[in-house]
Amino acid sequence: MKNHSKLNDIAVIGLGVMGKNLALNISDNGYKVSAFDVDNQKIHSLVSQAQSESPQLDPHRIQPCLDVKSLLNSLEKPRVIVLSVPAGAPVDGVCAALIEAGIASDDIVIDTGNSLWTDTVAREQSYQGQFIFFSSAVSGGEVGARFGPSLMPSGNLDAWARVAPIWRAIAAKVDGATGLPIERFEPGNPVTEGEPCTTYIGPSGAGHYVKMVHNGIEYADMQLICEAYHLLSAGLGMAAVDIAAVFARWNQGSLNSYLMGISAEILRQADPLSDKPLVEMILDSAGQKGTGLWTAVSSLQIGCPAPTIAEAVYARAVSTQKALRTELSTRLQGVNANTSTLTDDERSAFIDALEDALYCAKVCCYAQGFQLMAMTAAEQGWQLDFAEIAKIWRAGCIIRATFLQSITEAYQADSKLSHLLMADIFATSLSDKQYQWRKAVASAVMQGIPVPCISSALAYYDSYRAPTLPANLLQAQRDYFGAHSFARIDGPVQDKFHFDWSGSRTLNKL
């Protein structure tokens, strides 16, 4: 797609943290970029940064544009325009401005924000005939956008064919032999070797849906690490710097991940003002932008169990009720578990158990996300390639982890895998580690330390390994008060019965 004309290859509208870094990434890879933002200072800041970071590159590779009309005139036709603006009304506002400025029907507009997937479907239909609305979710934060994100595009296939060369160039790269990220954070010197962490996800909305589930998994993964921190801190009385050492050690094994690595780094950091651990000076009230909530809601709507993801959302909600928690902490009694008498061997054994518990809960968390994607794909008629999705999450994105290589291999071995826990590698590892998992959860319960995600993942595991659940009693209750009927274990499931519980006590086939 690279050209030698005076016109540019691609435009970026919205030069906040993500848009600015995407523009720099694209220009590093040899493409000429037009850039626009309603804030002129952001335009000048981008151009200045590009020239100072990589003076050896073409100083004109990023062209500042002061309005949408001049941006359109600066581009090679058919045009490709990247939107990096907040989800919701701002996306439609920019689209309206592009229409007014004279965008053509074969031009491509790419929404890279965290839009709700149903909004993406509606926009593709709404703008049909005016331009090609395409979407590509982006994961990796500021550094990912600058040096290689994970990209989840979906929509018009012809649009993808035109966008693909740029997306493959700017995406994070993975060593195909090892599955490990190839990382280089040097402006003007992008990674060009390896497998790019981008693939065509599917029809309109599919990419944003997959990114939404990615973020739901991210919520749970973060909360799982926080619960391990809480158990080590409040349970064993360990100092932040010592927990950092534990996390760093875990990060060398099966729990290796971006989130584990940054957690260790966070716990090592001292507060410049008090010299205490910085983490202990941060108010325990967590924010959220909504994608985890969307994932939990979607799981409820479609009837896919994702309790660990939902509990991660609830955990953030509980954290925000600081005043109420402080008041109730003086009224609600806990237990007086004394762990100070534990021997060094006992403490070490508990840390090992917690490592296994964290791994098992993480597997269940990902299993919930992949099952949710599978059920939604079946409902929407999408053909999602889960091996490819796992592959593009191995680098660039927030949940990148060595563990994703095992998920990739599981789906490569069986593309029709009905559930991630059916894969031998995970069925065996969870079975082998379950005692340690139960030991960690039991210890948390006996100490009164909340572990909603680790414990909900264990309940999820136990529910799926149970051939019989008490839903028989539940269905009888429904039939008792609402005549909702039930199926029998000794007949076809499509045959329905109602029992006259309060009258003749007769069984009636419906």
Distance (Å) of CA 83 to CA 89, 392, 425, 489 = 13, 22, 41, 55
Q: Which are the contacts of 369, defined by CB distance < 8 A and separation ≥ 6? A: 213, 214, 216, 217, 295, 306, 309
Separation of alpha carbons 154 and 204, rounded Å: 5
Tell which residue, 166, 19, 137, 120, has the closest CA to residue 397: 137
Strands (E) in 157-304, as ranges, are 173-174, 181-182, 195-196
Separation of alpha carbons 393 and 216, rounded Å: 14
Selecting among 211, 362, 391, 433, the annotated active-site residue is 211
DSSP β-bridge partners for residue 152: 137
Separation of alpha carbons 246 and 393, rounded Å: 25
Selecting among 124, 218, 227, 311, the annotated active-site residue is 218
Is residue 218 annotated as a catalytic residue, yes or no? yes
Scanning 381-423, the segments in alpha helix (DSSP H) are 386-392, 403-413
* Lookup result for tokens 């799926």: 464
Separation of alpha carbons 87 and 89, rounded Å: 7
The answer to whether the CB of 132 falls within 8 A of the CB of 109 is: yes
> Quick one: how far is CA 213 from the chain centroid?
6
Separation of alpha carbons 73 and 31, rounded Å: 17
Q: Which are the contacts of 268, defined by CB distance < 8 A and separation ≥ 6? A: 240, 241, 244
Q: Is 252 helix (H, G, I), strand (E, B) or coil?
A: coil
Q: Which two tokens stand for residue 352?
A: 């090992």
DSSP β-bridge partners for residue 499: 507
Separation of alpha carbons 366 and 407, rounded Å: 9
The answer to whether the CB of 217 falls within 8 A of the CB of 369 is: yes
Instruction: Kindly list the catalytic residues.
Output: 211, 218
